[in-house]
Copies of this chain bind each other. A is one copy, B any other.
Amino acid sequence: MAAETPRDLRALFDPRSVAVVGASRDPAKWGHWLAEGALRGERRRSVYLVNRAGGEVLGRPAYRSLAELPESPELVVLAVPASAFESTVDTALGLGARALVAIAAGLGESGEEGLRIERRVADHVRAAGAVLLGPNCQGVYDGLAELDLGSENFVPGPIGLVSQSGNLALEVSLLGADVGLGISRFASLGNQADLEVADLVEALAAHDATRLIAVYCEDFRDGRAFARSARAAVDAEKPVVLLAGGASVVGRRAAHSHTGALVSDSAAIDAACRAAGILRVSSPKRLVEVAQLLLAARRPCGRRLAVVADGGGSAVVAADLAAGVGLELPRLSPELSASLDAVMPETATTTNPVDFAGAGEQDLRAYERVPRLLLESGEVDVVMLTGYIGGYGLLAEELSAAETEAARGLARAAADAGRPAVVQSMHWQEPPAVALREAGVPVFRDVEAALTATALVAGHELRARREVPSSPAPATPLNDDGGYFEARALLAAGGVVFPEARHVTGDGEAVAAAAELGYPVALKAMGLLHKSDAGGVVLGIEDEEQLSRAVAELDERLSPDGYSLERLVSAPASVELIVGCKQDPRFGPILLVGLGGVLAEVMRDTAVALAPAEAEEVEELLLGLAGASLLTGIRGRPPLDVGAAASAASAVSRVAAEHPELAELEINPLIVTPTGAIGLDARLVYSQPR
């Protein structure tokens, strides 16, 4: 579990002295690479190489043990086998080390015994007030501090990188280098015996040279702590981009409700990202693409896009792709089109997309003039220039300087207008592209990536900032049998509306209850996992005769544990929702809302949030569903009471958060009508079977 108070990681990233235990002469060994890396920072700090055999390593005398060092090393890096892990850490702590980095594999990831050792060592580390990265990690890097232990030749830059994979950290750094983005700090997570992803994100948020935090993580440990530290980073204007690994792995726990099946591990991560303001991506390439946009001089703060192309095909392809990623190409006003006409040749297209049709060949300053008019118009939120820029200098050397100057002009136009320009060019590595990047304008190689990243970042910037919800005080744990009536009672107490119902056990009781409630009624057989699927629900019972017939038929066919007799809810212009919560082992209770019914289940149109969620946030979730138009009115249907549905779902999320003993809690369906929302079924599942 992540520590409550921030850990001091200065000694980890910028130690005054470093000792490499296990420094090796063998160039294929970690102990060699670490020693090499440590020595690269020798002008900033003392570096001690420790090798049991003594002698020389990389031209330096090797100490036989930590105890022999002339001073207490602030940071100790352990390139030792698993068997020497605990004793080496203890020795280092005894000497006063403040930070440890353990490369050693074969501990927690290999089984129970390794886990026990890790827990013991972490206790020792914390007791000593030190920090430990790893074990089973790939080192640490700080560009400004010239600390390079295990890195893969990172270039310094604005990205703080936390990764549970060395391969992916390297891949991110290579992709970043292509677009001029380097690494400020890198920490390899390893087994997170002591320092967890949350601690490292927190440290990067406080690190001046880090302007964006990129995380690859498979094991989030205390997921809410991670979300809170990410939230704090985002609030401090350091965007957090997450590539979450292993999200597709099928959970082994059997789900007992539809919510349980729908809230995957990946959905829980989505809920956390939503609360924390994390931008989640699915590949290293996408990570670097959104980082480019997030680190640009200006970010897109809306979806209205003008496409400017220096070739018809590029304009058309960009326009075709834009809608698919959720960007809009507004029609330009006649005034704006006229002002574009005035600076372009007659053949140019001055609607959106704008096509140069030779304007660039005629006068390279078109690359500044046209975007400037668009950016300053206020009619669009972002201008994407797509196509060829960077190629003129290849065609004719004499165009080179003018082209780069035109690129700088484009960046100036964006700066003057205070709105972002994004560029895609097949000549993405030529001097004009480099000049654009230096001036804060991102340049992409492929247009689909440019548009997708723009849409992702625009959507992200538009989203309302939320808090990571705190857990409410736990209520008295439930201790009943968790049946239908108990679930209804619990949720009704939380504020959810249900139709009036009576628990009846036979024909006589049913008839009496129906007389009290008034016909028409609905009859539901109890004690079945999926009442409707089993044919255990009879709706629209109009009179006593029909009721008796229904009871007799269900008795015979299903032998249920009694019935719920309910006033029939008649709501022709309504929509069924599914609303539920599930306890995620890392991220706590997760609220899910979605369109209900069989068809919606096939379509899986759902959204998630960390529980408890306020009604206002749930309303946002509902209105963001693909099928939201069913709720807001479509083809003559009346708008439904989305607010009531949101309140009900919010209540479910609160109840779930107050009852951590519940693994799952669900209303399915929740009927939304033009004037309210009413639960037609309720289910709860305990974490531990009663």
CB distance from A672 to the nearest CB of B (A): 14
A317 in contact with B284 (CB, 8 Å): yes
B168 in contact with A314 (CB, 8 Å): yes
Determine how many copies of this chain the complex contains: 2
A282 in contact with B361 (CB, 8 Å): no
A284 in contact with B446 (CB, 8 Å): yes
- Which residues of the other chain, B, contact A246 by a CB distance below 8 angstroms? 316, 319-320
B533 in contact with A168 (CB, 8 Å): no
Nearest opposing residue in chain B for A446, CB measure: B285
A174 in contact with B426 (CB, 8 Å): yes
22 examples of A-B residue contacts, CB within 8 angstroms:
A28-B396, A164-B312, A164-B313, A167-B311, A170-B388, A246-B316, A246-B319, A248-B320, A249-B319, A282-B317, A282-B320, A283-B321, A285-B449, A533-B635, A533-B636, A534-B636, A598-B634, A599-B599, A599-B627, A601-B634, A602-B629, A603-B626
| Cβ contact of A313, chosen from B245, B319, B391, cutoff 8 A | B245
A245 in contact with B316 (CB, 8 Å): yes
A353-389 vs B, Cβ < 8 Å mask (1 yes, 0 no):
0000000010000000000000000000000000110
Q: How far is the CA of A601 from the CA of B635 in the complex (A)?
A: 10
Within 8 A of B (CB), among A147-198: 163-168, 170-171, 174-175
- Which residues of the other chain, B, contact A312 by a CB distance below 8 angstroms? 164-165, 167, 218
Among A105, A166, A171, A447, which residue has the most Cβ atoms of chain B within 10 A? A171
CB distance from A351 to the nearest CB of B (A): 11
CB distance from A28 to the nearest CB of B (A): 7
Q: Is there a chain B Cβ closer than 8 Å to A305's Cβ?
A: no
Q: How large is the interface on A (under 10, 10 to 19, 20 to 34, 35 or more residues)?
A: 35 or more
Q: How far is the CA of A282 from the CA of B282 in the complex (A)?
A: 20
Q: How far is the CA of A314 from the CA of B168 in the complex (A)?
A: 7
| Cβ contact of A319, chosen from B248, B449, B533, B597, cutoff 8 A | B248
B317 in contact with A599 (CB, 8 Å): no
- Which residues of the other chain, B, contact A629 by a CB distance below 8 angstroms? 602
A361 in contact with B320 (CB, 8 Å): no
A609-638 vs B, Cβ < 8 Å mask (1 yes, 0 no):
000000000000000001101100011110
CB distance from A357 to the nearest CB of B (A): 9
| Cβ contact of A168, chosen from B168, B311, B635, cutoff 8 A | B311
A163 in contact with B313 (CB, 8 Å): yes
Q: Is there a chain B Cβ closer than 8 Å to A498's Cβ?
A: no
Q: How far is the CA of A391 from the CA of B170 in the complex (A)?
A: 11
Known: A168-B317, A248-B320, A598-B635. 15 other contacts (CB 8 A): A165-B313, A167-B426, A171-B426, A245-B316, A248-B323, A248-B324, A249-B319, A283-B321, A283-B447, A284-B447, A285-B445, A285-B448, A599-B603, A602-B629, A602-B634
